[in-house]
Structure 1
Amino acid sequence: MTRKFELQPFEADQAAPVDLRALYELSVAALRLDRPDPVVLDYDDWVASLRQLAPSLGSRGYWIARRDGELVAKAVVYFPPDENEHLALTAITVAPRRRREGVGTAVLKAVLPELEARGRKLVEGWELSKGGPGAQWAVAVGMRISKSTIAQTLDIRDVDPVLWDVPAPDGFRVAEWVGAAPDELVASYARALHVMRDAPAGDSEYRLAEWTAERVREAEARHRERNVVQRVVVAVSEATGEVVALTQMDLYTDYPEWAVQQDTAVIPADRGKGLGQWVKAHMLRALLAERPSIGKIYTNVNADNEYMIRVNEQIGFTTSRSTVGVSAEIAELRRLLG
C-alpha cells in the first residue's frame, strides 16, 4: 500500500490546537533524544517561542510533514539577508518513532525546491550533535561537515561570582547599553564588530556582516522588531575614546530564566591585555544585577577558537556538547536525491 506523504506550510497563529500539541510532543521527544543538554520548554512557553525569531537570521519558513495523516516531521528554514542571500539555514526534525523510515530524506527532497524558489543556492544545518543521528543522516544524504563547534553553558547556581571580579586593564574604561549604541560610540563599535570576520569559522558558507554604523542601527531595529533585548558591554580606550573590545548578550522576553551569549571581539592591536575576559565578566555582573531571574546562559563557539573557549571557561562556562555544521549545494543535493 502506498503511504501518502504531504509537506505543508505551518503558521502557529492559524494552526489547530491538536496540531500544535502534536508538534510540541514531536519537538520535545526529538530534543530529549538528540541532545544531552536539552532546553525543554513547557507547552505555553514553546508556543510563544514559535513567534520569537532570531534577529540576525532573516525571515523564516516553517513546514510540517504528514504521512497517512500523521504528523511525522518538521522543517524550519531561515533565509538570512544581505551577504547571505545565497544561503538557507535548515533544520529538519523527525519524530523519533518514525526514524529510519526515509522521512527526513523525503522532507529534505520536498523542501529543496522551496529554497531554490527563494533564490537560495546553498543549504546549511548548524549545531548538530557531533556523531549524532542528525549529523550522520546529513552526511549520508550528501552533505559535508563544514565546521566544528562546541556548545557551552554557564549555570549561575554552580559558579562562584568571584570569577567575575576581573580588574580593569590599564588605559581602558567600560561602557554599556541596552538596545542602541550611543551616537559617539556607534562608528568605532561597528569597526570593532567588523573584526569578528577574523574569527575561525571552518568551511561554513555563512558570511559575517560588513559592519558600518548604519548596519548597526539596522541590526538594533531588527532586535526591537523581534522583541529581543540586546545588552552590550564595550571597552573604550582612554587614549582614543574608541571601542576596542565588545561583548553582546541577547535576552528573549519569552525565556526570563536564560540568556544567549552572542559575539565577543577585541581589535588586533589590543589583544593579549585581558579585555575579552574583562568585558564578559562585567556583562555577567551587570546582567544578574538587573535580571536576577537568569539561571543559565548559552553560547556556541567554533572549536578552533581556543582563545574564546578559554575565556569562557575562566568565567564559569562549561562545555555541554560538541557540535558540527553541515553544508551542500542545493542543486547537487537534488541530483543525489533524484
Structure 2
Amino acid sequence: MTTVTVEPLLPRRAAPGDLASWCAVFSDGHRELSGSPIQPSVLAERLLAEEPPAMRWAARSGLASSGIGGVAELRPQPHQPRTGFLRLFVAPSARRGGVGSALLSRVIQSAGAAGMDRMQATVLAGPPGEPFARTLPDLRVLLHLELQEQRLDQEWVVRRCQELVASPLPGYRLVHWLGAAPEALVASFGRVMSHVLDAPGAALQMAPRAWDAAAVRAWEAKMTADGKRLMVCAAVHLTSGEAVAVTVATVLPSGGPVADQHDTAVVPEHRRRGLARWVKAAQALRIHERFSGVLAATSTVNRENQQMKAVNRAVGYRLLHERLLVEAPVAYP
C-alpha cells in the first residue's frame, strides 16, 4: 500500500512550490464544491498575510518529495469556538489512495488537542464526498443546501431580468453601488443585513453580529480584502429614504467567469411585495453590463427556504447540485 505522509502547512515557512501546489489543490476543490473559483495566487497572498493563521495540512502519496495530493484547513467557528470548520480536498488523481483518510485522521487529532469537541464541513451530496464523510462515527446532517446557477450568458435569463426590472415597484427606487455603501444608506443597509439570519438554517452557518456603521465598514473591508469587487443593489423606500431590501454579490479581480451571489434580505415590514426578486434581477443585469467576462452567478440556498428558491427561479437560477452541512463529534482521548 502506498504510504501517505501528512505535514502541517505553514504558509510563511513553506517552499514557494509547496504553497503554490497547496493553493492549486484547494482552489480546484473549492470550485468543485461551490461552483466559484479562487485564484491560487490570490489565495497564497491571503494565507501569507493571515493573522492569526488557521491550522492547515498537506498530504503526499509515496515519497515525501512527491506533489501535494490533498489539503485540509481547520478553523474555529467564530460563533462556536469549540466547533471547528473543516475544508478538506483531494486532487482527483490522488483519490481512493488513502489521502483523504490520512488527512482526516490528522485533523481529528489536532482538533481534539486544540480543545474542539465538534467539527463541521460542507460536502457534495453523493459520491465521493458524502460516503467519505459518513465514515465518521455519529455524523449528522445539519442542512441540505442547493448550489444554484444563473447563466448570464443565456439570452432568456437576461431577458427575464430585464422584464422584472422594467416593472418598477411603486414607492421604491433601485440604488446600486460598487464597494462601500453611500454614507446616507450605510445605517439602513446594516439594518437590512441584520435580517439575513431570518432565513431558515442561517443561524447554523453564521453568528449574530452587530450591523452598525462601523461593523458595515469592517464587513466591506473583509469582503474586498482579496481584491474582489463588492456589488450591492438596494431597494430604497421613497418615504423614509432608507434601504429596505438588499442583495450582495462579489466578482473576482479578473472580472470573471463566475460571480458569487451572497446574501439577500428584506426587512419584515416590506416583505411579500416582490422586492427580493426586483433587486436580484437588477443586480444580475448590472453584473452583466459591467463585467462582460462574468458568464454566471452562483448562490447557495437552504433546501427548506422555499421563498428564496422561488425568487431565484424567477430570475433564472437553476439547480447545479446539492451539498450537505454535516457535523460530527471529535473523538479524541
Q: Name the CA distance, whole Å, in 2 between partners of 1:61 and 1:119.
A: 13
Aligned residues: CA RMSD: 3.2
Other-structure match for 1:298: 298
Structure 1 residue 92: deviation in Å? 1.4
1:193 matched to 2:190? The reply is no
Other-structure match for 1:107: 103
Structure 1 residue 10: deviation in Å? 4.8
Q: Once the two structures are aligned, what percentage of the paired residues are identical?
A: 26
Aligned length, in residue pairs? 321
Is the contact made by 1:192 and 1:265 (CA closer than 8 Å) also made in structure 2?
A: yes
Is the contact made by 1:49 and 1:254 (CA closer than 8 Å) also made in structure 2?
A: no
Q: Which runs of 5+ in 2 are unaligned?
A: none
1:113-128 → structure 2 map (5 Å cutoff): 113-115=109-111, 120-126=116-122, 128=123
1:40-119 → structure 2 map (5 Å cutoff): 45-51=39-45, 60-68=54-62, 69=64, 70=66, 71-81=68-78, 83-96=79-92, 98-115=94-111
Is the contact made by 1:48 and 1:254 (CA closer than 8 Å) also made in structure 2?
A: no
Other-structure match for 1:216: 216
Is the contact made by 2:23 and 2:44 (CA closer than 8 Å) also made in structure 1?
A: no
Is the contact made by 1:6 and 1:67 (CA closer than 8 Å) also made in structure 2?
A: no
Given the alignment, which residue of 149, 152, 158 partners 2:154? 158
Q: Name the CA distance, whole Å, in 2 between partners of 1:40 and 1:281.
A: 23
1:145 matched to 2:141? The reply is yes
Structure 1 residue 198: deviation in Å? 1.1
1:135-284 → structure 2 map (5 Å cutoff): 135-142=130-137, 143-160=139-156, 161-165=158-162, 166=164, 167-201=167-201, 204=204, 206-254=206-254, 256-284=256-284
Structure 1 residue 76: deviation in Å? 2.5
Structure 1 residue 136: deviation in Å? 1.7
Structure 1 residue 247: deviation in Å? 0.2
CA deviations on 1:156-187 (whole Å, 9 max, x unpaired) are 22242221122221111112211111222111
TM-score with structure 1 length normalisation?
A: 0.82
Q: Name the CA distance, whole Å, in 2 between partners of 1:46 and 1:312.
A: 30
- Residue 256 of structure 2 aligns to a residue in which SS? coil
Structure 1 residue 288: deviation in Å? 1.9
Structure 1 residue 291: deviation in Å? 1.4
Greater displacement, 199-208 / 238-247: 199-208
Is the contact made by 2:86 and 2:119 (CA closer than 8 Å) also made in structure 1?
A: yes
Letter in 1 for 2:149: T
Structure 1 residue 154: deviation in Å? 1.4
The change in CA–CA distance for 1:200 and 1:96 in structure 2 (over 3 A counts) is: same
TM-score with structure 2 length normalisation?
A: 0.83
Structure 1 residue 219: deviation in Å? 0.6
- Residue 221 of structure 1 aligns to a residue in which SS? helix
Is the contact made by 1:191 and 1:211 (CA closer than 8 Å) also made in structure 2?
A: yes
The change in CA–CA distance for 1:95 and 1:173 in structure 2 (over 3 A counts) is: closer
Letter in 1 for 2:72: A
The change in CA–CA distance for 1:59 and 1:251 in structure 2 (over 3 A counts) is: farther
Structure 1 residue 48: deviation in Å? 3.9
Is the contact made by 1:125 and 1:325 (CA closer than 8 Å) also made in structure 2?
A: yes
Q: Which runs of 5+ in 1 are unaligned?
A: none
- Residue 272 of structure 2 aligns to a residue in which SS? coil
Greater displacement, 293-302 / 95-104: 95-104
- Residue 334 of structure 1 aligns to a residue in which SS? coil
Q: Name the CA distance, whole Å, in 2 between partners of 1:255 and 1:89.
A: 29
Given the alignment, which residue of 327, 331, 334 partners 2:332? 334
Q: Name the CA distance, whole Å, in 1 between partners of 2:135 and 2:103.
A: 15
